[in-house]
């Protein structure tokens, strides 16, 4: 396939940022992750830009070609940012030119939006904190904990401990995958089944590739088969 064809098949991605409810500290990592799926041609950050708390975001809009969308607080103490984001997202959805959405927020109010976009067959990638409601995390095609995203130096801010939840996800994916007589299954198939759990993302555990994550566990053996494919076998 030519480079031109590869470019033509890339997704047109819209990144919508809830600046009132998202930290700018991990914007670079968010852009890096989304760039793996396509071109981030639409970049908008929503908030009341009169607020001093958004100054850090304001400094990044020019650097990353992000359009700042002004939304005044109609009622004191209550933000109208969420509604403006939802309206714009639905406009983009119905125009039909967006192949994927990125939502940078930890607000559960965006759950219905994520669900509606996915009903249209469009993937939604959420970026927020570990405290984001599980309902919103599960509502996204994939949810990334921004504090755990790997930066350009290959490190994340936190110590990503392997929890029982991850072991259960991988274990169930392995059981559901087709295995050969020696118990090996294609890593790609196991990964595809694991991704059925939308909150599962390799980057949430400090890795960029599933193979590296699985190799870090004592529970699995990873090797190449005769065709050069990576296959995995559960040891215990």
What is 14-78 written as a DSSP string?
A: EEEEEGGGS-GGGHHHHHHHHHTTEEEEEEEEEE-TTSGGGHHHHHHHHHTTPEEEE---SBTTB
Q: Tens of pLDDT along 191-223? A: 888 877 766 788 888 788 899 999 988 889 999
Mean predicted confidence (pLDDT) in 114-140:
94
pLDDT category at 42 given cuts 50, 70, 90 is: very high
Catalogue all structural domains in the chain, each as residue range(s) with its CATH number.
3-148 (3.40.50.1010), 164-234 (3.30.420.610)
- Cα distances from 68 to residues 47, 74, 85, 111, 173, in angstroms, run 8, 18, 12, 23, 41
Q: Which residues are bridge partners to 150 per DSSP? A: none
The share of the chain scoring above pLDDT 90, in percent, equals 49
This prediction has a pTM of 0.74
User: Residue 192 has what pLDDT?
Assistant: 85
Over 50: is that where the pLDDT of 124 sits? yes
As a whole number of angstroms, the distance between CA 174 and CA 192 comes to: 10
Q: What strands lie across the sheet with 230-234, from one edge to the other?
A: 185-186, 230-234, 220-224
Mean predicted confidence (pLDDT) in 55-73:
88
Q: Which residues are bridge partners to 170 per DSSP? A: none
Coil/strand/helix, residue 12: strand
């Amino acid at each position: 396939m030519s480079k031109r064809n590869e470019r033509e098949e890339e997704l047109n991605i819209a990144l919508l940022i809830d600046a009132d409810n998202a930290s700018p500290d991990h914007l670079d990592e968010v852009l890096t992750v989304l760039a793996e799926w396509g071109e981030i041609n639409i970049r908008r950050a929503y908030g009341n830009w009169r607020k001093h708390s958004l100054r850090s975001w304001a400094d990044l809009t020019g650097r990353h070609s992000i359009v700042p969308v002004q939304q005044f607080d109609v009622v004191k103490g209550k933000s109208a940012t969420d509604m403006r984001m939802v309206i714009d997202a639905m406009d983009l959805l119905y125009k039909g030119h967006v192949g994927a959405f990125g939502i940078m927020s930890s607000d559960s109010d965006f759950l219905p939006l994520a669900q509606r976009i996915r009903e249209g067959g469009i993937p939604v990638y959420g970026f927020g904190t570990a405290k984001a409601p599980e309902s919103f995390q599960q509502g996204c095609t994939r949810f990334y904990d921004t504090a755990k995203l790997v930066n350009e130096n290959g490190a994340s801010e936190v110590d990503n401990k392997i929890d029982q939840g991850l072991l259960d996800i991988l274990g169930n994916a392995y059981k559901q995958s087709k295995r050969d007589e020696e118990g090996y299954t294609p890593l790609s198939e196991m990964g595809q089944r694991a991704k059925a759990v939308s909150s599962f993302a390799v980057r949430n555990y400090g890795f960029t590739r599933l193979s590296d994550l699985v190799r870090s566990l004592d529970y699995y053996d990873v090797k190449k088969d005769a065709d050069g494919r990576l296959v995995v076998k559960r040891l215990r």
